[in-house]
Amino acid sequence: MDRLLVLVRHGQSDWNLKNLFTGWKDPDLSPQGVDEAISAGKKLKALGLSFDVCFTSALIRAQHTAKLVLGELGQSGLTTLKDQALNERDYGDLSGLNKDDARKRWGEEQVHVWRRSYDVSPPGGESLKDTVARVLPYYAQEILPRVLRGERVIVAAHGNSLRALVMVLDRLTPETIPSMELDTGVPLVYRLNADSTVADKQVLRG
């Protein structure tokens, strides 16, 4: 039994390109982001991988990434389940602001705390801890049981929602997870043991 779980952060979005806080706002992929998603699909195809089900968020940049990846795999009709539980962290009042402008307004140190602490939330938004509390129940109830049954699962989502999953899979702590970067369009290929621990992990860079 393969117990395959692949995580892909969406390709670069228009707002990533413009250095804006995005959160639950809904910009699409940039041209580079489209290329990154297609490249992710090609890397997975080169490994001979295919999937039984896809999970993605309620946001277009993740959905578009999933569609492009599956297209490269010849699986455009694959069952794709969309849920806002997998949405990016909600940046609240920072959403839509240029990151440099936010630093001028609130100070570099405060913005760094909002971005890189585990349990401090920006005004009107979610901390990483809040995001983890939203993502992990969905993973435990909807995604993990399928993987443990032997279904091959791909999840196309966001930097912070995927951080929540990597935190569990890689056994990271609240102290180490905020500094862990997930590159856009780079698949993480996990194979799990029967007890849901990680048997093998590949990061498909380059």
| pLDDT tens per residue across all 206 residues of the chain | 889 999 999 999 999 999 999 999 999 999 999 999 999 999 999 999 999 999 999 999 999 999 999 999 999 999 999 999 999 999 999 999 999 999 999 999 999 999 989 999 999 999 999 999 999 999 999 999 999 999 999 999 999 999 999 999 999 999 998 888 899 999 999 999 999 999 999 999 97
Catalytic pick among 10, 36, 126, 158: 10
88 catalytic? Reply is yes
- Choosing from 36, 72, 88, 126, the catalytic residue is 88
User: Is 10 marked active-site?
Assistant: yes
Q: In the 3-class helix/strand/coil scheme, how is 53-100 assigned residue by residue?
A: EEEECCCHHHHHHHHHHHHHCCCCCCCEEECHHHCCCCCHHHCCCEHH
Question: What is the Cα Rg of the chain in Å?
Answer: 16
SS (H, E, C) 162-202: HHHHHHHHCCCCCCCHHHCCCCCCCCEEEEECCCCCEEEEE
Domains and CATH numbers, the chain: 4-203 (3.40.50.1240)
Between β-strands 153-157 and 188-192, what pairing exists: parallel, antiparallel or unpaired? unpaired
